Amino acid sequence: MAINEELTTLKEDFLSRLPGSELITCHPSMVLARISRTAFKEVRVAIQFPADYPDNPLLVELKSKTLSARILDSLTKLCDEELKKWKGKQQIMSLLVFVKHFLDENPFIACSDEIMYIKKELVSEHDDLKLKQKAGIVSMTIRQQRYFLSVKLSVPDAYPTDAVSIEITECNVPPDLLLTFAGQSQELARRCVTPPLKPKPKDPPFEPSPSLQRVACLLANDCLRHCVAQKCSLCKKPALPDNPKEVVVDLNADMHVERIYCGHLFHFKCLDTYVKTPPFKGGKMCPVSGCGKRIYHDKWVTTKNTKLAEDRWAHEEARKRELSEVVDFLGL
Ligand SMILES: [Zn+2]
Ligand SMILES: [Zn+2]
C-alpha cells in the first residue's frame, strides 16, 4: 500500500521536480526513469523494491549509452550510500533527484576517460595539472627545457557536441609561434564539432567528436614539446635559443624562427638562403629528411611561384656577372 502511494506521488511530481527527464515505467514491480541533463549526460535508472521496503534500501541499476562504465560504477556506489540514509522513508524521488544533481554538478563526467588520459599519459612529473571539478576547467602547464605553456581548457555543458574553449594564459615561445599554437588548437577544436564545408561523398554523416584530449595533446606534444626540441635542419642548431630570454622577436633577424606549412622550424637566414637558391623546379621542398613537403610561406612569394623564383635567381646571377665584368674591366 505504501509503495502504491509513493508511486502515485512520483507520477504527480516527476516532471516538476525533474524537468527534461522521463518516467518510463512506474509499477510496483519496477520503476524505470531516464534522467538527463544534456543528450550526452543521460542515465537510465532501474529501480526495484526489496522485501521490507522502505526499511531496506531500493535496488538500483544504472545504465547509460554515453557515460563511461567507470562513471556509472562510482555513481552506483554513491547512490547505494545515499539510500542507506533514507531507510524507513520514501526513497525513489530522493534517489532520482540525487542522480540529477550528480549530472548537474560534474561537468567532467562527459570527458572522464579523456581526463584520465591527460592525467596519466600526457602530463609528466615536470608539468602541472589542475582540475576544477565544479567549473569543468582543466588547467595545465607543460614544460620542455626552459620553455612552458599554460592553458585553460573549459568543458562546456553541451560537451562533446560543443568543443572545449581554449585560453592560452602564458607561454614563453616567440609571439608569432604562439599565434600558430593558438590558431592550430582553435582550428582542431572547431573541426571536432563542425562538419566540413565540402564533405567527401563517401564520408559517413558527420558526428561531433570529443575535443578535450586532442586539443591538450596538440598543444603539449605537437606545439610546445615538438617545437622546443626541434633543430633547424639547415644549420643543425636548435631552432629556439636555449634561454627563452634570448628569443628573437624581430621578424627579419637572421635567427628569427620560421615555421613552415609542414610544421618544421628554421632560422630566417637559413631558410631565406635555401629558398633563394636553385633548384627551383617543382617548387622548394622542406629539407627535413622524411618530410619533403612543399614549402609555403607568406614571407617568400617565390615559395608560391616557381617561375618567379627562377627569374629572381637569374636576375641576381646576371647582376653578379655584370659586377664581376666591371671588376674584370677595371683590372681589380
Ligand atoms: Zn638554422
Ligand atoms: Zn617539413
Expressed in angstroms and rounded, the spacing between residue 280 Cα and the centre of ligand 1 is 20
* pLDDT tens string 86-142: 999 999 999 999 999 999 999 999 999 999 999 999 999 999 999 999 999 999 999
Closest ligand to 232 CA? 1
pLDDT band at 224 (very low <50, low <70, confident <90, very high): very high
Strand partners, 171: 149
* pLDDT tens string 173-197: 999 999 999 999 999 999 999 998 8
* pLDDT tens string 13-33: 999 999 999 999 999 999 999
pLDDT band at 332 (very low <50, low <70, confident <90, very high): very low
* Model pLDDT, residue 40: 94
Sheet architecture: strand order including 128-132: 128-132, 137-144, 147-154, 165-171
Backbone φ, ψ for residue 9 (5° rounding) = -60, -40
Contacts of 137 (CB under 8 A, 6+ apart): 131, 152, 153, 154, 155
Q: How far apart are the first and last CA of the chain?
A: 118
Q: Mean pLDDT across the stretch 293-303? A: 78
Residues, CB-to-ion distance under 5 Å, ligand 2: 262, 264, 286, 288, 291
Closest ligand to 258 CA? 1
Strand partners, 149: 142, 171
Q: Is the pLDDT of residue 162 over 90?
A: yes
* pLDDT tens string 273-291: 998 888 888 888 999 989 9
Expressed in angstroms and rounded, the spacing between residue 265 Cα and the centre of ligand 2 is 8
Expressed in angstroms and rounded, the spacing between residue 49 Cα and the centre of ligand 1 is 74
> What CA–CA distance (Å, rounded) separates 276 from 278?
7
Expressed in angstroms and rounded, the spacing between residue 145 Cα and the centre of ligand 2 is 23
Closest ligand to 239 CA? 1
Amino acid found at 4: N
- Structural domains present in the chain: 2-105 (3.10.110.10), 112-196+207-229 (3.10.110), 237-332 (no CATH)
> What CA–CA distance (Å, rounded) separates 67 from 268?
49
Closest ligand to 284 CA? 2
Q: Mean pLDDT over all residues of the chain?
A: 91
* Model pLDDT, residue 130: 96
